[in-house]
Structure 1
Amino acid sequence: MKMISKIASVALGLVFIGSAVFAQSLDDAKKAIDAEQYQKAKGMLKNLTVTQPKSDENLFYLGWVYLIQDYADSAKATFTKGIALEPKSALNYVGLGAVALAANDNAGATSQFNQAISVTGKKDDQPYLYIGKAYLMDAKDGKFPPAKANAAIDALTKAKTINPKDVDVQVTLGNAYRSQLNSNAAYDAYQGALTLDPKSVSANVATGVLWRYAHNYEDSEKQFQAAIAIDPNYGPAYRELAETQKDEAQENIKVASAKIKEAVENYKKYITLTDESLESLLRYADFLVNAGDYTTLQEVATKLSKNANANARVYRYLGYAAYENKDYKAGLDALNSWFTKATPNRILPLDYYYLGRLQVAAGDTTKGIESLKKYADLDTNKVQDAYADIIAIYKAKKDYLNTAKAYDEETSKVHKPLVTDHVYQGIYYYFSFSSKNPDSTLLVKADSALSFAQKAMGDKVPPSIYQYRARVALLKDGDVNNMKGLPLPYYNKIIEYYTANPPTSDRDKKDFAEAYAYLGTYAQYHDKDDAKANENFTKAKELNPDSKQANYYFEQKNGGAASPPKKASK
């Protein structure tokens, strides 16, 4: 019996030792959330809600993880359960406010946040901290509206006043300032965090991101390496290092290839440290889009699509990758699915760009152009990219008028002088004018665009500008019996230019000859000066033996009966 009793005692002791080893605290779960190990954190928190069924705080953090993972319904249900357990649970009211923000219900969010504050203790900074995080979580496409960033800063400043030694508050406050490009305030907040805890990996990583914003890639990488030295398993450090290397690659072509390879490897490291969860794979997919690695993107997206619980965003990645890998039908099917499944606030401008390209590739240029214009309207920094595609579509169809209009729309939307595009705008308006479309306003638009380009070029105007302004003026000049001389100033400029810079190509010689031919015609019909006409037509013929105006003049002098060419041909 004694032996059995001893064995039982040993066994019982092992049970308690095992429980101590495998026990997981709320602090462990919070560390996992900070390290973006969301699956791991969720498992811990679900276990804690069973072992500690009366803790409303556990329910809050579980709901917070759901919200981070974009499962708003599960988050709301969990926060509501926390309030049912403890009606004065300030954090769970904050959680409901964060859910409202995610649904663009600003009034509902404010109401829930106010309720949270009303039940918050005087020495409790955590509700204010998470109100700040909620506003920062509400970023769309990585951008924080100033009003929400300011609301976050107000809440976080209150949290800092209550507890100036909270490192998480300092880091989050720095993030809020950084979102508004207030680098000095962000740096002060991060340094405050590092003063409180020099081994704070999140503060080191946040400082590294700030250096990246300043394009100081060397110091940025050093800061991430410092974080990795403190905790080699802190995934976000590898992700931000990868983002920094990607940005440096895009900015410096000399290191681009090597940096992109390093970036992809570091991002893979991040994935392995974050459980390869659906959420981390989705972030990896976003990174691959920005890095331009569409082969890997297709692999990751295909892997995600096989998971029954995959976020609908997988269709976005499948669409992007399929387009870049020239699988247009699959890409269009995927993006159509994304637009069907996604709520409007989840659609990115880039989604319309790829949708438009895929529609064009599938032969539907009308819808494709509509989507590309939508992209330009939603992202004003990408107007030129969108219109480059639109213009290429019209050019391929030899649709001169719509090509001109597309250039016109582009130059009106971009707030900088697109000189070359104004030139093409003018040229295509010129070519749009014809006997089938004798709309004189097209000539006005053509000359206006060319005039803008000429003024923008100052004293470095190429002869092609004068050439097309002369041709536009020629169409308004009347026939040889009613010449006004409208093209004269431009043809004189061409002669002046080529006299100083003798043409060498046949194309330039023909343009030079065109100027002399007009001067010859003007002298012949307007000035009735045959000597001057002869001189100019001789120069035209020397430069271009096939000049119609010059050949007609000399045939006429030699007794020919040909009809005079009325206009210079296009």
Structure 2
Amino acid sequence: MKTVILSSFATIFTTLVVNAQDIEQVKKTIDAEKFSDARKSLKSMVASSPDKGKNYFYLGQVYIALEKQDSARVYFEKGKTAKDAGHLNLIGLGQLELLDGNKSAAESHFTNALAFAKKKNTEEQIFISQAYLKAATPDNSKALVAAKAAVASDPKSALAQVALGDAFVANRNVNDAFVAYRSAGELDKTLLKAPMQLAVITRNAQAFPEAMKAFNDILAANPGYGPAYREKAETNLAWAYAKKSLFEEKIAAALEDYKKYMSLTDVSTDARIKYADFLILSKKWKELETEALAIQKVDKVNPKVYKYLGYAYSENGNPEGAIKSLNDYMSKADAKKINGKDYLYLAKAKLATSMDDKGIVTNQAKFNEAIADLTKAAELNPNLNSEFTEIGIKLYSGKAYLEASKLFELAVKNTNSKSYARDNYLLGNSILYYAESKTAAQKAALTAEFAKANNAYAEAIKASPNVADVYFYKGQLNRVIGTKESNAQAVLDYEGYVKTVIAKGDAELSKPAVKENLFETYSFIGANYATTDKAKAIENFKKAAEINPNDTFVRESLNALNK
């Protein structure tokens, strides 16, 4: 009997050791982003050890990484009743709730999971911290609280220090993040994420050569670690956008790094999907179209393929194909995953079918659809303002001024934009140029547009008070409006123009365009004061005469006022 008991104990012990070794190897596989390999291993482990909750949990995490939340939920639900560490799956279910925006349900799962945890709950707090960071609306403060709790539970846990570093980064505390990642690296020399995150911090400070050296050092010691190639690719991409003279060189290097990343991680549809995302950032539209069509041959149900085709067709001159593909995407994808850029590309395709090459609108109904899509894009992502501006300038150049104003209206919704002042100026100009050729009756119907234009010019002045032209064109607008009140405002606007150009000195005053504007300004101010303030009228007409002494109107006005 004693021999049988000892034999049974040895079997159980061996099983525990093997499972522990398996899960550690799987964790390394997940860290290396070899999700397909990890999925196969974990499915086998779940089948052979159905009482091990951790196997279910990590399998669910793999499915989340592959954006297959329904599959993740299935395994979390199965795993939560497992005898050994089943409570970890409650954290997984909480993570899914956060991804769906259900914060209270998520926190209930987290509370229940912690109730089952041992006194040392380092692992649980790490997973909770990560869940908050990856939520649909991240809660960075709660992520930091959980990460600090993980470190307090086990100060010597390298993974807890990494979680702390991630939370500090999310809370924009780069200095403490650096310390946490460095501590993680010192605690576990084999943990590759720690030095990689240090290099990412370096990259984000735009120290690109130093970041590249750090990634290359990681790869020199661990040539099979794919994520380092992805981060190299991201670094080359950022470098390309930071220094336009190196754009093509760095984009080419980035794409090579990303291909290497794919070869070392998953040569799967999931990896190819990520590569397509990278092609969008790299603006390689021909390659994106080729890649999307290739993915479609092996995965006909993934809605993202339609998105990629829509983007590629839009940029590659196939607007009808883009409209069809993006409509297919929006009808098949989860509504929560449709973003502002998706609506932007749908709108760009519709605009292409509604305008000629000169930017003149030829199909008003299609144009109106595009504006509706652009409005939705702006609601979802105000940071697309530069795209709205680019389209607006095309319309503006084609003298489709009222249509252009709609785009600039969307652009100025982002009040933090670097081009906020310019976009407001163009919005005002668009309405001015549209209205200046209209009849009095037509102008009477433009009250709302005139108010928008005046406000836009005022915002431009507030943002950039030393740009003289804004004052001048605001004056022009109020002259076009032509009411007694607007003419009085035009005088104030023109006086602002005079004050601003004089402050710039003789070099500015000597410019032909400025002289022409000043002549028009002084002439209008003089005429406006002719019946109310004779001295001011004479003063301004004299200044106009200094610029153009042969102008009949100015000369006759001065003669009449001096009688």
Q: TM-score, normalised by structure 1?
A: 0.77
Give the Cα separation in 1 of the matches to 2:337 and 2:409: 31
Shift of 1:504: 7.8
CA separation of 1:230 and 1:169: change in aligned 2, threshold 3 A = farther
Q: Spell out the pairing of 1:4-23 with structure 2 (5 A cutoff).
A: none
Q: Spell out the pairing of 1:168-317 with structure 2 (5 A cutoff).
A: 168-308=159-299, 311-317=302-308
Matched, 1:29 2:29: no
Which runs of no fewer than 5 residues in structure 1 stay unpaired? 1-20, 554-570
Matched, 1:356 2:356: no
Give the Cα separation in 1 of the matches to 2:450 and 2:55: 72
Instruction: Identify the residue that residue 391 of structure 2 maps to in structure 1.
Output: 389
CA contact (8 A) 2:196 2:215 kept: yes
Q: TM-score, normalised by structure 2?
A: 0.78
CA contact (8 A) 1:204 1:226 kept: no
Shift of 1:268: 0.5
Shift of 1:503: 7.1
Give the Cα separation in 1 of the matches to 2:278 and 2:48: 38
Kindly report the root-mean-square deviation, in angstroms, between the aligned alpha carbons of the 2 structures: 4.1
Q: How many residues align?
A: 514
CA separation of 1:328 and 1:476: change in aligned 2, threshold 3 A = closer
Give the Cα separation in 2 of the matches to 1:302 and 1:30: 33
Q: Deviations over 1:230-271 (max 9, x none)?
A: 211011000011101110110112322221111111010000
Matched, 1:109 2:120: no
Matched, 1:47 2:38: no
CA contact (8 A) 1:450 1:469 kept: no
CA contact (8 A) 2:39 2:59 kept: yes
Please state whether the residue corresponding to 2:298 is helix, strand or coil: coil
Shift of 1:470: 5.4
Instruction: Identify the residue that residue 374 of structure 1 maps to in structure 2.
Output: 376
CA contact (8 A) 2:310 2:321 kept: yes
Instruction: Identify the residue that residue 93 of structure 2 maps to in structure 1.
Output: 96
Q: Spell out the pairing of 1:54-203 with structure 2 (5 A cutoff).
A: 54-86=51-83, 89-138=86-135, 140=136, 145=138, 148-203=139-194
Instruction: Identify the residue that residue 476 of structure 1 maps to in structure 2.
Output: 482
Please state whether the residue corresponding to 2:117 is helix, strand or coil: coil
Instruction: Identify the residue that residue 7 of structure 2 maps to in structure 1.
Output: none
CA separation of 1:260 and 1:85: change in aligned 2, threshold 3 A = same
Give the Cα separation in 2 of the matches to 1:261 and 1:120: 49
1:311 aligned partner, one-letter code:
N
CA contact (8 A) 1:369 1:390 kept: no
Instruction: Identify the residue that residue 472 of structure 2 maps to in structure 1.
Output: 466
Give the Cα separation in 1 of the matches to 2:203 and 2:350: 37
1:43 aligned partner, one-letter code:
K
Please state whether the residue corresponding to 2:267 is helix, strand or coil: coil
Identity %: 29
CA contact (8 A) 1:174 1:189 kept: yes
Q: Deviations over 1:299-356 (max 9, x none)?
A: 2222222223753222221211111111222221111111112222212221111111
CA contact (8 A) 1:62 1:78 kept: yes
Give the Cα separation in 2 of the matches to 1:536 and 1:259: 56
Q: Deviations over 1:114-165 (max 9, x none)?
A: 2222221223532222222222332x4xxx62xx223322333222223222
2:316 aligned partner, one-letter code:
N
Q: Deviations over 1:283-308 (max 9, x none)?
A: 22222211222222222222222223
Which runs of no fewer than 5 residues in structure 2 stay unpaired? 1-17, 355-365, 557-563
Q: Which moved more, 1:386-395 or 1:169-178?
A: 386-395
CA separation of 1:84 and 1:240: change in aligned 2, threshold 3 A = same
Please tell me whether Structure 1 or Structure 2 has the larger radius of gyration of its CA atoms. Answer: 1
CA separation of 1:74 and 1:508: change in aligned 2, threshold 3 A = closer
Give the Cα separation in 1 of the matches to 2:544 and 2:81: 97
CA contact (8 A) 1:407 1:425 kept: yes
Instruction: Identify the residue that residue 562 of structure 1 maps to in structure 2.
Output: none
Q: Deviations over 1:37-60 (max 9, x none)?
A: 011111122222344444333222
Instruction: Identify the residue that residue 15 of structure 1 maps to in structure 2.
Output: none
Q: Which moved more, 1:465-474 or 1:69-78?
A: 465-474
Give the Cα separation in 1 of the matches to 2:47 and 2:492: 91
Shift of 1:222: 2.2
CA contact (8 A) 1:520 1:535 kept: no
CA contact (8 A) 1:471 1:487 kept: no
The structure 2 residue matched to 1:328, chosen from 319, 331, 342, is 319
CA contact (8 A) 1:208 1:223 kept: yes
Please state whether the residue corresponding to 1:306 is helix, strand or coil: helix
CA contact (8 A) 2:478 2:490 kept: no
1:174 aligned partner, one-letter code:
G
Shift of 1:217: 1.7
CA contact (8 A) 2:122 2:153 kept: yes
Q: Deviations over 1:362-419 (max 9, x none)?
A: 331111111112222222222343244256447646354x544654564464246844
1:461 aligned partner, one-letter code:
A
CA contact (8 A) 1:93 1:115 kept: yes
Matched, 1:338 2:338: no
Please state whether the residue corresponding to 2:443 is helix, strand or coil: coil
Give the Cα separation in 2 of the matches to 1:437 and 1:243: 53
CA separation of 1:540 and 1:516: change in aligned 2, threshold 3 A = farther
Please state whether the residue corresponding to 1:25 is helix, strand or coil: helix
